Chains A and B, each alone.
Chain A
Amino acid sequence: MASLDRVKVLVLGDSGVGKSSLVHLLCQNQVLGNPSWTVGCSVDVRVHDYKEGTPEEKTYYIELWDVGGSVGSASSVKSTRAVFYNSVNGIILVHDLTNKKSSQNLYRWSLEALNRDLVPTGVLVTNGDYDREQFADNQIPLLVIGTKLDQIHETKRHEVLTRTAFLAEDFNAEEINLVIEKRYFLRDGNQIPGFPDRKRFGGGTLKSLHYD
């Protein structure tokens, strides 16, 4: 079992955006019934067939590391969190479509995760400032996921979606907007739109998804 290659993917985002629900949905193909706060980090594993159906098919274990907390946490919490950012193969940034601040905080989240991995070149990043240059030479694929699409009223959806499209461009990331239905009916995992995209991203070692 352990002989399969491992792929480590971080799931980052503000409190309450739906990271744990997302991870649970991806790994257990079930909707999480009673979400509660994540303390520390919770991991889940998904077995994935990369390039299914082709002769190059390979099975991978994708580890989804769901890190809890907020960007404004005390520096002691941040230092502890940094332990989880070692040797990451990919990052999923989750934000809540009904909450603008969670989208803005994604910049800070990505900085926190990426700075850990960057070889220190002596260039110090100023606190919280966003600079597209920093993401230019980033080798780690990023995926931006927006949740709770169903809670936005029909008329506002277009405006929200354009905003998130800009966000994804800034990161040079791929974007998926999701509904994670919790209340009314169970969703089978395959019906989530963008799942085929997920499969495309999930495999592969350091395959860059940049639009250069």
Chain B
Amino acid sequence: MSFLIDSSIMITSQILFFGFGWLFFMRQLFKDYEVRQYVVQVIFSVTFAFSCTMFELIIFEILGVLNSSSRYFHWKMNLCVILLILVFMVPFYIGYFIVSNIRLLHKQRLLFSCLLWLTFMYFFWKLGDPFPILSPKHGILSIEQLISRVGVIGVTLMALLSGFGAVNCPYTYMSYFLRNVTDTDILALERRLLQTMDMIISKKKRMAMTRRTMFQKGEVHNKPSGFWGMIKSVTTSAPGSENLTLIQQEVDALEELSRQLFLETTDLYATKERIEYSKTFKGKYFNFLGYFFSIYCVWKIFMATINIVFDRVGKTDPVTRGIEITVNYLGIQFDVKFWSQHISFILVGIIIVTSIRGLLITLTKGMYFVSSVLLIRMSMPLEYRTIITEVLGELQFNFYHRWFDVIFLVSALSSILFLYLAHKQAPEKHMAP
């Protein structure tokens, strides 16, 4: 009886999530475009719904809501469905849409998308070989195999993104990095842009007039078509057309220049707005947050390095450690264990929710969710790890932590390098007198 009640609760929440995902898709992601293929929207909403129910189940697990056996059942079912969608449907549809965009293969779309999907599966399977995830206890086509592979890809992606985010976030929020842009700079750049446009126009006018006079004189100027046409045009080219190609080259160069100027002007406007924004209260508040966040990011990078160098695996999460230290320092009677669970859990939730928003805009949502489940396990105190371990089998969790640290470090360092180069390059261009 209770099983039915639980199931109905789960199903209603799933439908709710489905509707939410649908709306989000329509309002946010595709605000300015029209969606013609409704299949995409449906798949997106379904994946979103199932992923959210997975998180819901974790929450229920911690809070102890619902019957434990029904939870277990739903958990397994959810996982199966998500993996099914992730490994079978999504790659197939991606391949299908890619193939249908290529004109040559338009006729045999289905065949080619199946081929593409099979290649994908092959590489997907091959991915598992260099990593220590094959355990002799379970068979080949078990859930554990699929999860481990998805997990590897997902953890890599997540580490890449967090590495980049850890560096980019303070860079964006802190006003220390903002270059000083004045109105005169912008005006000067705009003038240059308009001058370039005028030069392009005058050259094009000459070309148009030349073509017109040539046409009127009866010389038909055709672009060399085909092999023989090209050979013919080499030997017998009218002086008018030679002139034209010269001017055309100049025009191409000028157009490239105009594009560059346009982009630079946009950049300057954006920087100017950011400067103005940073003078408001909201801006100052975010600036302050930015400092804190940057300290946190630096600390994370530091910890990742230490983990790798000293070959240590993270057992306790930073929040618990932090609270322990604070409590010991302040000497307050505090039930550390009780609060730390909840706080760390909430923090993890916040991190994931804010990253969800960023990631809903990319395609790798499904893998992200599975791998974040794996990583949540690290943040949750030992008691709660049991059920997840039970369901997901004996995956080598330590491996994942190590892998995450490595990729995180690599990504953070490379994004630091990249941002430094970009920052250095820009001021030299438009601060010239």
Smallest CB separation, A43 vs chain B (Å): 5
**Residues on the A chain within 8 Å of B255, using CB:** 42
Contact (A2, B270) CB under 8 Å given A46-B208, A61-B208, A101-B33:
no
Q: A70 an interface residue at 8 Å Cβ cutoff?
A: yes
**Residues on the B chain within 8 Å of A80, using CB:** 190, 262, 265-266, 269
Q: Which of B194, B202, B205, B267: most chain A CB closer than 10 A? A: B205
Chain A proximity mask over B298-310: 1 for CB below 8 Å, otherwise 0: 0000000000000
Partner of B273, one of A14, A45, A76: A76
**Residues on the A chain within 8 Å of B294, using CB:** none
Considering the chains assembled together, what is the distance between the CA atoms of A39 and B263 in angstroms? 8
A14 & B32 in contact (Cβ 8 Å cutoff): yes
Q: A119 an interface residue at 8 Å Cβ cutoff?
A: no
Q: Which of B202, B263, B269: most chain A CB closer than 10 A? A: B269
Interface residues on A, range: 20 to 34
Q: A138 an interface residue at 8 Å Cβ cutoff?
A: no
Q: A124 an interface residue at 8 Å Cβ cutoff?
A: no
Chain B proximity mask over A131-159: 1 for CB below 8 Å, otherwise 0: 00000000000000000000000000000
Considering the chains assembled together, what is the distance between the CA atoms of A107 and B35 in angstroms? 21
Give how many A-B residue pairs fall within 8 Å (CB-CB): 73
Smallest CB separation, A185 vs chain B (Å): 15
Q: B31 an interface residue at 8 Å Cβ cutoff?
A: yes
Smallest CB separation, B344 vs chain A (Å): 37
Smallest CB separation, A99 vs chain B (Å): 5
Partner of B262, one of A40, A72, A100, A102: A40
Q: A75 an interface residue at 8 Å Cβ cutoff?
A: yes
Q: B129 an interface residue at 8 Å Cβ cutoff?
A: no
Partner of A74, one of B258, B259, B270: B270
Q: B376 an interface residue at 8 Å Cβ cutoff?
A: no
Q: A160 an interface residue at 8 Å Cβ cutoff?
A: no
B262 & A47 in contact (Cβ 8 Å cutoff): no
Contact (A71, B32) CB under 8 Å given A44-B204, A61-B205, A61-B208:
yes
Considering the chains assembled together, what is the distance between the CA atoms of A70 and B31 in angstroms? 11
Smallest CB separation, B81 vs chain A (Å): 33
Q: A1 an interface residue at 8 Å Cβ cutoff?
A: yes
Considering the chains assembled together, what is the distance between the CA atoms of A74 and B269 in angstroms? 10
A100 & B193 in contact (Cβ 8 Å cutoff): no
Q: Nearest chain-A residue to B255 (Cβ)?
A: A42
**Residues on the B chain within 8 Å of A99, using CB:** 33-34
**Residues on the B chain within 8 Å of A208, using CB:** none
Smallest CB separation, B274 vs chain A (Å): 9
Considering the chains assembled together, what is the distance between the CA atoms of A58 and B212 in angstroms? 15
Smallest CB separation, A170 vs chain B (Å): 20
Q: B206 an interface residue at 8 Å Cβ cutoff?
A: yes
Considering the chains assembled together, what is the distance between the CA atoms of A163 and B114 in angstroms? 41
Considering the chains assembled together, what is the distance between the CA atoms of A5 and B266 in angstroms? 31
Q: B197 an interface residue at 8 Å Cβ cutoff?
A: yes
Partner of A76, one of B194, B204, B270: B270
Contact (A70, B263) CB under 8 Å given A1-B209, A79-B269, A83-B190:
no
Smallest CB separation, B52 vs chain A (Å): 28
Q: B188 an interface residue at 8 Å Cβ cutoff?
A: no
Chain B proximity mask over A65-78: 1 for CB below 8 Å, otherwise 0: 00000111011110
Interface residues on B, range: 20 to 34
Smallest CB separation, A2 vs chain B (Å): 6
Q: B77 an interface residue at 8 Å Cβ cutoff?
A: no
Smallest CB separation, B77 vs chain A (Å): 39
Q: A174 an interface residue at 8 Å Cβ cutoff?
A: no
**Residues on the A chain within 8 Å of B194, using CB:** 83
**Residues on the A chain within 8 Å of B391, using CB:** none
Q: Which of B32, B255, B272: most chain A CB closer than 10 A? A: B32
Q: Nearest chain-B residue to A96 (Cβ)?
A: B34
**Residues on the B chain within 8 Å of A61, using CB:** 205, 208
B32 & A105 in contact (Cβ 8 Å cutoff): yes
Q: B200 an interface residue at 8 Å Cβ cutoff?
A: yes
Q: A41 an interface residue at 8 Å Cβ cutoff?
A: yes
Partner of B204, one of A14, A43, A100: A43
Considering the chains assembled together, what is the distance between the CA atoms of A212 and B193 in angstroms? 39
Considering the chains assembled together, what is the distance between the CA atoms of A47 and B207 in angstroms? 10
Considering the chains assembled together, what is the distance between the CA atoms of A135 and B193 in angstroms? 30
Q: A27 an interface residue at 8 Å Cβ cutoff?
A: yes
Q: B127 an interface residue at 8 Å Cβ cutoff?
A: no
Partner of B263, one of A1, A14, A40, A45: A40
Q: A63 an interface residue at 8 Å Cβ cutoff?
A: yes
Q: Sorted from nearest, which 7 A-B pairs have the closest CB atoms?
A: A40-B262, A76-B269, A76-B270, A45-B204, A80-B265, A80-B266, A39-B259
**Extra contacts besides A43-B200, A45-B205, A83-B193 (17): CB < 8 Å:** A1-B209, A39-B262, A40-B261, A41-B258, A43-B201, A45-B204, A47-B205, A61-B208, A63-B201, A75-B273, A76-B266, A76-B273, A77-B266, A80-B265, A101-B32, A101-B34, A183-B103
A selection of 27 A-B contacts at a CB cut-off of 8 Å is A1-B209, A2-B202, A39-B263, A40-B258, A40-B259, A40-B261, A40-B262, A40-B263, A43-B197, A45-B201, A45-B204, A45-B208, A47-B209, A70-B32, A74-B266, A74-B270, A75-B269, A76-B269, A76-B270, A79-B269, A83-B190, A83-B193, A83-B194, A99-B33, A100-B34, A101-B32, A101-B33
